[in-house]
Amino acid sequence: MSGVGSESSKPLSERRASRPIRLGKLAVGGDAPVSVQSMATTDTRDRQATIDQCRMLQAAGCDAVRVAVPDDDAADNLGAIAKAVTIPVIADIHFNYHLALRAIEAGVAGVRVNPGNIGGQKRVREVARAAKERGIPIRIGVNGGSLEKELLERYGYPAPEAMVESAVRHIRMLEDEDFFDIKVSLKASDVPTMVRAYRLAAKTFDYALHLGVTEAGTLLQGSVKSAVGIGMLLAEGIGDTIRVSLTADPVEEVKVGIHLLKSLGLRDGGMTLVSCPTCGRCSVDMITATQRIEKALENVSEEVHVAVMGCEVNGPGEAREADVGIAYGHNNVGLLFKKGKVVRRFAADELEEALVAEVRSIVEERSGKLPIVNQ
């Protein structure tokens, strides 16, 4: 079988060894699974709206969520937000060391702050000590769009070497305070620059790496750019946690991130859907049929491999390789497959319902909840 978890879906490269850290209960780096993060788009000063969105991200499978902390009013809500969800909440802070201290006191699981931007080594010392006392890691976030002026003048553009040099500067400021619970990101909107920066960083230090293509764009363009950039690095064994940055509902970021990891054999759980792109041989509307099936099964949590195929050329073969599959044929009929065997021939308009019912039966069986049998 070629489903997820089989020999064919093992990671392409051995993972880079990185220092492990913990975001609350979530392990990052070392031999921990690659995690998916997102960022709330709500105004953190609106406590309930932010809690509601964090809960939606959690339900979608997000492993950690970041929230913006632009001022004291936002910081006031951090404790309540962190308690309202079971996934780690990370405070995103720029320039203001006071807000970093407040976030740490509020009980967030992590802080994103660049030591070189908060007012000198004395303030770095205060933040590092507070974070160390609470066991809270700090993420250093280097961005190609906001590099130090001196580095831009020396390199002439946001070069990968400049980005890594910037990261090392920030790292040393924390290391000088005996602080080593560090995670680093080196994001750029240009995929080749981002990839080269992470490759160089992976050779330069052993801290956990948070991967992402920043300002990637809309759902379509951003997903493609992120899949290329993040996927290349993960396939090389580089990366410990990811965020797919989209100008879209952040739930979509989580969905794309999860599918990205699943496609590389780096995450289990949920439905893996194989479907044909349709052609002139197909006798049904494959596009809408597949969309309906995907929608009906979008909340499946157990690992299940599903195939939806439109004709007899590749259809039966792909359907046999899935846990459950259907293959449409001529004369308005099709076949339902389960674990490599034909279960039954159905009329074409009955196949969707039969497939969904079979998947749900498998999910109930695997989750330990036996399907109810009508007496």
| Cβ proximity of 207 and 237 under 8 Å | no
pLDDT tens by residue, 123-153: 999 999 999 999 999 999 998 888 889 999 9
Which CA distances in Å does 40 have to 66, 77, 195, 357?
6, 14, 25, 35
276 in a known ligand binding site: yes
- Mind listing the domains of the chain with CATH numbers? 15-263 (3.20.20.20), 271-366 (3.30.413.10)
| Residue 294 annotated as part of some ligand binding site | no
Consult the annotation and say whether 54 binds a ligand.
no
The enclosing H or E element of 275 equals: strand 271-275
**Angle made by CA atoms 163, 164, 168, in degrees to the nearest 5:** 120
How far is residue 252's CA from residue 294's CA, in Å, rounded to a whole number?
Answer: 15
Task: Please tell me the predicted confidence (pLDDT) of residue 271.
Answer: 80
Task: Outline where DSSP puts E strands in 95-192.
Answer: 110-112, 138-143, 182-187
Residue in 235, 146, 221, 228 with CA at minimum distance from that of residue 187: 146
Each residue's pLDDT tens digit, 109-124: 999 999 888 888 999 9
Tokens of 266: 């780096």
Q: Is 311 annotated as a binding residue?
A: yes
HSE on the CB side for 57, CA within 13 Å? 31
Three-class SS state of 37 = strand
Mean pLDDT across the stretch 170-174? 96
Q: Please compute the mean of the pLDDT values over residues 41-48 and round it to a whole number.
A: 97
pLDDT confidence of residue 369 = 58
Give the pLDDT band of residue 7 (cuts 50, 70, 90).
very low
User: For residue range 259-311, what is the model confidence (pLDDT) as tens digits?
Assistant: 999 999 898 877 888 888 887 777 788 888 889 988 888 888 788 889 898 87
